[in-house]
Amino acid sequence: MSIAWFNHKAADKASDTNAGLEDALVASCLASAAQGDHTAYFDLGVAFSTGSHGANCDLIEAHKWFNLAAVAGHEEAAMCRADIADEMTAREIAEAQRRAREWLSTTTRRAA
Provide the pLDDT for residue 10.
Answer: 37
CA distance 112 to 98: 21
Would the pTM count as exceeding 0.95? Answer: no
Q: What percentage of residues in the chain have a pLDDT greater than 90?
A: 60
